[in-house]
């Protein structure tokens, strides 16, 4: 789980999860599509099959205001402009026309550049409040293209330089005289580009691009070297038109026409992937709907054919008694896995998980270690429990005096002395236990190995304190099986050390039997424990996460931070307080603290060394139990 410090610092950059969630929610509201997800990539773009839109990293490393406004301009273009006003059918038609053209990439990116120009104007007219963001966008992009213009000319990248020049021409609003010897009819090209101000549709822009290509195709030999736009890369026949199996009539296949807008494509892919999602799919929409076959593929039966294999079901009347012990064990093992599906977030659609009780190792070594650790922790546990019990007693005995109504006090002098007497009091409702419940998630990844012993001590202390205070709690490790993971299947295991059903049972030996495994999927684990806490009747619900770094699992490296933050916000919104304790062998760096703050907000604590795990655990428990005491 610990992230290695990379040699080049910009390769170790992390996203601001709170900001990205803000842009995601804004994008969902503007596009009126709650299924949309947002990420950050090199260029802003669409990914319809995944339901993702991406902001550009172009806005990084600038002032906070400029970076914010630049990213907003990406959101506006993606979720208002291209979302509703970009013609996908005209785009596909245009791409087909230039499939084999030597300037194919230049043609495509020039069309996207000109569409960006048109759509910025469309969005500003529709929503005037976006003008500030687009003003910043124009200024910075003009600066970028002016810089790239000279650089590309010096390198001999004529197509790239021409694209830069056309951007400048469009956004400066006038045809400026150029000191560059283009060896092209640059004046006429610029004039054609200015006609973009009158264009009303994608097809109008495509016609202008075709005129420009006709004028330069003989003079410009090489296509673009660099990429400036990726917004149309994922918009092809595969995404715009769905394919149905052969043998189906038109009535059975349903709608097959190409989608006109990006909005239609996204909604169609979302609807289909939502209804057909599962660990066996990769969003491939090859439909097998109910319908009549044409009889062309039928095979005649054969009475004399020998039975080569017999299958047995797992219903009430199956014949599983014929299975071997090994087959039965494998079948039972498979039946324990549960599918996450879309219930735990889109990042975990292919996750299967098992709730596995940690096998208790009752050997002499563990028994001796448990006795030794408890003897060492005994003074801390005793003083802490005594302190909490006294506070509970004080709360029981405490009463509120000088009230306007309630029980009449025995001291009635206030009726004579005070101008506004308040002779009444009320007793607080007595309580013999804390109205709180705890869930503890322990990172089970391989990086925890070097601090496993101290982690077990901290978990044991947590267990002993809550057990003596009669506070219900559950303790589980979590990890992903990296040896069995694949693109379509990500097995996760929760190692249950103590459950709510165990009540006040002593599970110290089970805690000592916990071992590390492979990867960790934090957002998934937090959602899993949140669900278990929400069914509890206690008023105060606390979820503690003991971990030693950022999430790390299959396909979860970059998105794990955002997903973890989102899972924390979801839990807090439902009334579950999430607290994080960073378990490290040394004091965390400023970058690490910023990362944990990004994922867990202000409820993240860190220990200076492994020896302080138990001290931090007691400190956290003291604060949380004080909240429960009210």
Q: What is the DSSP string of 267-304?
A: HHHHHHHHHS-STT-SS---B--S----STT-----TT
Rounded to 5 degrees, φ, ψ at 277 are: -70, 160
Burial readout 194-215 (b: 16 or more C-beta within 10 A, e: otherwise): eebeebeebebbbebbeebbeb
| Whether residue 152 has pLDDT greater than 50 | yes
- Segment 510-517 shows an average pLDDT of 93
d(CA 564, CA 596): 10
- Segment 447-458 shows an average pLDDT of 91
Least confident of 55-59, 388-392, 527-531: 388-392
- The whole-number pLDDT of residue 243 equals 43
Cβ-Cβ contacts under 8 Å for 345 (sequence gap 6 or more)? 523, 524, 527, 563, 566, 567
* Residues above pLDDT 90, as percent of the chain: 53
| Whether residue 306 has pLDDT greater than 80 | no
- The whole-number pLDDT of residue 321 equals 53
Give the pLDDT band of residue 559 (cuts 50, 70, 90): confident
* Residues above pLDDT 70, as percent of the chain: 79
- Segment 520-528 shows an average pLDDT of 95
- Segment 483-496 shows an average pLDDT of 92
- The whole-number pLDDT of residue 527 equals 96
Least confident of 315-329, 479-493, 518-532, 552-566: 315-329
- The whole-number pLDDT of residue 258 equals 58
> Contact at 8 Å (CB) between 259 and 265?
yes
Partners of 496 in beta bridges = 357, 476
Least confident of 197-206, 269-278, 456-465, 540-549: 269-278
- The whole-number pLDDT of residue 15 equals 62
User: Which of residues 185 and 134 earns the better pLDDT score?
Assistant: 134
Q: What's the gap between Cα 77 and its chain centre?
A: 22
Write out pLDDT tens, residues 397-452: 555 666 767 777 767 777 767 777 777 767 665 555 688 999 999 999 988 888 89
What is the rounded radius of gyration, in angstroms, for the C-alpha atoms of the chain? 32
- The whole-number pLDDT of residue 199 equals 95
d(CA 352, CA 106): 45
Q: What sign has the CA pseudo-torsion 55, 56, 58, 60?
A: positive
Write out pLDDT tens, residues 611-628: 788 889 999 999 999 888
> Contact at 8 Å (CB) between 455 and 613?
yes
| Whether residue 591 has pLDDT greater than 60 | yes
Whole-Å CA distances, 237 to 93, 100, 232, 282: 10, 17, 12, 18
Residues across the chain: 630
| Whether residue 323 has pLDDT greater than 80 | no
d(CA 52, CA 45): 9
Least confident of 48-62, 122-136, 554-568: 554-568
| Whether residue 4 has pLDDT greater than 60 | no
pTM over 0.75: no
| Whether residue 570 has pLDDT greater than 50 | yes
- The whole-chain average pLDDT of the chain stands at 82
């Amino acid at each position: 789980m610990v992230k290695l410090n990379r040699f080049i610092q910009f390769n170790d950059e992390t996203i601001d999860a709170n900001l990205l969630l803000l842009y995601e929610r804004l994008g969902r509201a503007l596009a009126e599509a709650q299924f949309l997800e947002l990420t950050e990539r090199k260029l802003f773009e669409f990914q319809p099959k995944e339901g993702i839109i991406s902001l550009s990293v172009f806005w990084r490393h600038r002032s906070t205001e400029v970076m914010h406004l630049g990213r907003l301009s990406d959101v506006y273009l993606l979720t208002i402009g291209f979302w509703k006003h970009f013609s996908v059918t005209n785009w596909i038609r245009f791409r087909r026309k230039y499939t084999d053209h030597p300037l194919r990439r230049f043609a495509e990116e020039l069309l996207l550049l000109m569409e960006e120009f048109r759509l910025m104007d469309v969005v500003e007219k529709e929503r005037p409040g976006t003008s500030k963001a687009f003003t910043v966008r124009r200024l910075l992009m003009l600066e970028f293209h002016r810089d790239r213009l000279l650089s590309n000319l010096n390198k001999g990248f004529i197509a790239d330089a021409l694209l830069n020049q056309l951007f400048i021409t469009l956004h400066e609003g006038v045809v400026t005289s150029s000191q560059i010897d283009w060896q092209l009819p640059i004046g006429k090209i610029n004039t054609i580009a200015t006609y973009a101000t009158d264009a009303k549709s994608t097809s109008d822009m495509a016609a202008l691009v075709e005129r420009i290509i006709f004028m330069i195709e003989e003079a410009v030999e090489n296509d673009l070297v660099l990429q400036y736009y990726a917004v149309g890369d994922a918009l092809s026949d595969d995404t715009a038109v769905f394919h149905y199996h052969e043998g189906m009539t038109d009535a059975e296949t349903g709608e097959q026409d190409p989608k006109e807008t990006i909005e239609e494509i996204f909604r169609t892919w979302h609807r289909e992937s939502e209804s057909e999602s599962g660990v066996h799919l990769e969003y491939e929409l090859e439909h097998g709907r109910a319908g009549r076959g044409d009889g062309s593929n039928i095979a005649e039966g054969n009475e004399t054919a020998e039975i080569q294999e017999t299958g047995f079901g797992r219903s009430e009347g199956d014949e599983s008694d014929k299975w071997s012990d090994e087959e039965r064990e494998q079948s039972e093992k498979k039946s324990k896995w549960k599918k996450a599906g879309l219930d735990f977030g889109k990042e975990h659609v292919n996750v299967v998980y098992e709730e596995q009780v940690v096998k208790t190792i009752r050997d002499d070594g563990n028994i001796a270690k448990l006795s030794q650790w408890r003897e060492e922790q005994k003074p801390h546990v005793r003083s802490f429990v005594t302190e909490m019990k006294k506070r509970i007693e004080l709360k029981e005995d405490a009463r509120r005096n000088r009230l306007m109504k309630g029980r009449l006090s025995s001291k009635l002098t206030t009726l004579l002395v005070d101008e506004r007497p308040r002779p009444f009091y009320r007793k607080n409702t007595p309580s013999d236990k804390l109205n709180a419940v705890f869930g503890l998630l322990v990172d089970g990844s391989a990086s925890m190995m070097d601090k496993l012993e101290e982690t077990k001590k901290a978990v044991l202390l947590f267990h002993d304190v809550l057990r003596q205070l009669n506070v219900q709690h559950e303790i589980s490790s979590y990890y992903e099986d990296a040896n069995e993971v694949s693109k379509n299947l990500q097995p996760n295991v929760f190692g249950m050390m103590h459950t709510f059903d165990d009540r006040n049972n002593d599970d110290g030996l089970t805690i000592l039997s916990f071992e590390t495994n492979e990867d960790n999927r934090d957002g998934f684990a937090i959602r899993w424990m949140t669900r278990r806490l929400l069914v509890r009747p206690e008023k105060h619900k606390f979820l503690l996460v003991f971990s030693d770094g950022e999430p790390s699992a299959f396909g979860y490296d970059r998105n794990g931070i955002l997903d973890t933050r989102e899972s924390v916000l979801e839990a807090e919104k439902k009334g579950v307080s999430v607290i994080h304790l960073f378990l490290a062998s040394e004091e965390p760096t400023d970058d690490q603290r910023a990362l944990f703050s990004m994922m867990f907000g202000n409820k993240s604590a860190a220990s200076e060394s492994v020896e302080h795990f138990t001290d931090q655990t007691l400190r956290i428990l003291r604060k949380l139990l004080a909240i429960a005491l009210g």
